[in-house]
Amino acid sequence: MATTALVDPETGLTQAQLAARHGLRVAGERPSLTEYSRRLWAYRHFTAAYANAKLVASYSNAKLGQIWQVLTPLTNAAVYYLIFGVVLGQNNIPNFIAYLTTGLFIFNFTQSAVLAGTQSISGNLGLIRALHFPRACLPLAATLTQFQQLLASMIVLVGIVLVTGEPLTLAWLMLPPALLLQAAFNAGVVMVVARMGSKASDLKQVMPFILRTWMYGSGVLYSVKLFDRLPEWASTLIQFNPILVYIELARYALLEQAPLLNESLTQLWLVAAGWAILGGIAGYVYFWRGEQEYGRG
């Protein structure tokens, strides 16, 4: 049976028409993408401040404090070098310690951002329910926090690369834009897993296994030339692995004789930019479409 909309006897307008006339909207209604982007930009200072607070808080209980930003990547590099460089004998790669740490630090940027992003919504329900702000601030803050940690890791990496005999060349100038492209890609991925994690709490348990598999498929710990043993279609497909692409750009910039799976620098940059644009935009739109869902239920 059809329902009849209630009409105000004085104005002759329905409730929906009255609401529109006075600029009233449904509580929690998702704004347009343009309006959402404008609000997100207006909250950029909140995003930056929240990211800084999370970074400081992560080391607040440690006696050495933020020195761990340097000690953690150094310790990881030492452990992996002991296993893969000494025990498993991967020293046939020129300057293996620099090759290894470059791959490790670049991959860790994405890994840490994704793990933090998985809980950026589900772990901040109190904040979401108490304050009104674009929810994309939270996964973007998680990405920014990890980017700040990456900068500390880069100081360590530069020291390792120079100490192990690599010269300082103009190619090093390619490293900053490569990291910025990776950060844009990471932001998109983080927003995807943030929305997924807000609905599936078990995702945080599964994600470490997914990331570990991704690491082994990205040539982080061994020579990428091993991928040449794969069928041609598989080797070609791996060349479009975004993490491998960002790692190869970093190795190309810092190391003179690093083995590369893709020798075409132009193709590396095109694929890196493509993943940054596609991943960033797609992740942002996907997260925006779920804006009205966060913090409910």
**Residue 23 to residues 17, 37, 156, 162: CA-CA distances in angstroms?**
10, 21, 55, 62
In the predicted structure, residue 114 carries a pLDDT above the cut 90: yes
Instruction: Answer for the pair 258, 251: CB distance below 8 angstroms, yes or no.
Output: yes
| Confidence grade of residue 12 (pLDDT, cut at 50, 70, 90) | low
Considering the chain, what percentage of its residues have pLDDT values greater than 90?
Answer: 44
Indicate if the pLDDT at residue 189 is higher than 70.
Answer: yes
- Residue-wise pLDDT tens digits, 58-110: 766 666 666 776 777 778 777 877 776 666 666 677 888 888 889 989 999 99
pLDDT at 5 exceeding the cut of 90: no
Q: Nearest to residue 241, comparing CAs of 260, 214, 267?
A: 214
Residue 200: alpha-carbon gap to chain centroid: 19
d(CA 174, CA 184): 16
Is pLDDT above 70 for 1?
A: no
User: Are the CB atoms for 188 and 282 separated by under 8 Å?
Assistant: yes
On the question of pLDDT at 171 being above 60, the answer is: yes
Q: What is the band of 11 on the pLDDT scale with cuts at 50, 70, 90? A: low
Q: Give the residue from 52, 85, 87, 58 showing the smallest Cα distance to 72.
A: 58
pLDDT tens column, 191-222: 999 999 988 888 889 999 999 999 988 888 77
Percent of the chain clearing pLDDT 70 (strictly above): 83
Res. 175 pLDDT band, cuts 50 70 90: very high
pLDDT digits (tens, 9 = 90+) for 228-286: 777 888 888 888 999 999 999 999 999 988 777 766 888 899 999 999 999 999 999 99
> Can you give 260-283 as a three-state secondary structure string?
CCCCCHHHHHHHHHHHHHHHHHHH
Cα 259 to Cα 116: distance, rounded to the nearest angstrom: 32
Phi-psi region of 165 (alpha: psi -120 to 50; beta: other; left: phi over 0): left
pTM for the structure as a whole: 0.85
